[in-house]
Amino acid sequence: MDLPEFFCYVSILSCLFPIMVNSIGINYGQIANNLPSPEDVVPLVKSIGATKIKLYDADPRVLKAFANTDVEFMVGLGNEYLDKMRDPTNAQAWVKENIQPHLPATKITSIFVGNEVLTLNDTSLSDCLLPAMQSVHAALLNFGLDKQVTVTTTHSLAILQTSYPPSAGAFREDLMDPLCETLNFHQKTGSPFLINAYPYFAYKGNPEQVPLDFVLFQPNQGVTDPQTHLHYDNMLYAQIDAVYSALASLGYKKLLVHISETGWPSKGDEDEAGATPENAEKYNGNLIKLMSGKTGTPMRPNSDLNIYIFALFNENMKPGPTSERNYGLFKPDGTPAYPLGITPNNVVGRNTTVGGGRFGNAVTNPYYPMSSSTGYMSISSARQQRYQLLGHVVRMVPLLIIKTLV
């Protein structure tokens, strides 16, 4: 399929994707040597109804390509920049070079400083986190951009000490000091609290006891929180509400919570249970349908779901197990990695139809800015390690509750 045919195909697909009530966010990673040009990614993003992108760096090619598209961007500053960004002069220079030139044409709404820093057990990074966030915010303030661009950071779900029942959600005691510092920053600046949540890892770690239907948003009997009597029929919502409870217990009930990453791999190694196209289709397809409605979680039914699916593309140069290279909704040529199983007939009732297109030979050379190639790669590969080391944290449904589900 040549490029004109591709754009015609994407135009047809776009008619099948109504605008989301809770708009779709997507993680756009670039650890690959075969991805299409950012210009060719624009119609693909629009075809799936995505209106928000999380970018792991401030790639000027991407930000320029999405100018005047009204797609919102969250851009990243990698962990390797934290020490440098403690210096307000460096932060000022970075914002001037990477953010200011793209506004207002490109709708940059947030900068996340560091990836899952607090659960890396590296004090050289965690000690730099808040000062770096403060310096970047001060730079935005100096440029008069602080009202339109917020500053935040991402957290692993492993920051939770207690996760079930959701109403008893609590943060780890050993992380309380640096965590409260960042929470105070969020409260003062109005920036969102970002959490990366992967029910996949709970299933992978215990496939014999974690009910697959519960993690894939499939029909199941679910569980009831014994304290609130709220009913949960999927693990992701239980995870989100555990975070809400943990925040409320510290006095931060009104903080905005965004799920900055969640997804399911379509392929994995032999020991990666559940990493199949069928399961990825169910997880992401069902999640997109849930996001298309006006419902929040059981604890916050009237709150919008701000969720970023991981990821847009399979990325062939990411380190780690096979699953790390197979989280994409799409292959590098723009074809779906798997069908999401949502047909045009589902559009009635504000559900969505998901498809894909072909880019032909529209492939560019890889682009590896430091904030992506180092920080993003290390965090992605560390994702497996953190769930192995902190398995008690990510078992969102304890054995007693699991038995009630099976």
Task: Copy the structure tokens of residue 14.
Answer: 């776009």
Report how far residue 155's alpha carbon sits from residue 117's, in angstroms, rounded to the nearest whole number: 7
Topology at the third CATH level for domain 24-330 = TIM Barrel (3.20.20)
pLDDT, averaged per 10 consecutive residues of the chain (406 residues), comes to 44 38 84 97 92 97 98 97 98 98 98 98 96 98 98 98 97 97 98 98 95 97 97 97 98 96 98 97 94 87 93 97 98 92 33 33 35 32 36 36 44
Cβ distance 30 to 315 under 8 Å? yes
Write down the pLDDT at residue 404: 45
| Bridge partners of residue 150, in order along the sequence | 110
Write down the pLDDT at residue 341: 55
Write down the pLDDT at residue 23: 77
| Cis before 280 (ω within 30) | no
Write down the pLDDT at residue 295: 81
Q: Nearest CA to 195 among 234, 152, 231?
A: 152
Cβ distance 261 to 308 under 8 Å? yes
Write down the pLDDT at residue 227: 97
Write down the pLDDT at residue 144: 98
Write down the pLDDT at residue 305: 85
Report how far residue 136's alpha carbon sits from residue 88's, in angstroms, rounded to the nearest whole number: 7
What's the whole-model pTM score? 0.84
Region for residue 217 given its phi and psi (left: phi exceeds 0; alpha: psi -120 to 50; beta: otherwise): left
Catalytic residue selected from 5, 80, 261, 324: 261
Cβ distance 108 to 73 under 8 Å? yes
Residue 48, C-beta contacts closer than 8 angstroms, at least 6 positions apart: 13, 17, 24, 26, 329, 352, 354, 355
Q: Transcribe 99-154 into DSSP letters.
A: TGGGTTTSEEEEEEEEESGGGS--HHHHHHHHHHHHHHHHHHHHTT-TTT-EEEEE
Catalytic residue selected from 39, 80, 97, 116: 116
Q: How far is CA 243 from CA 112, 196, 253, in A?
A: 19, 11, 10
Known active-site residue 261? yes
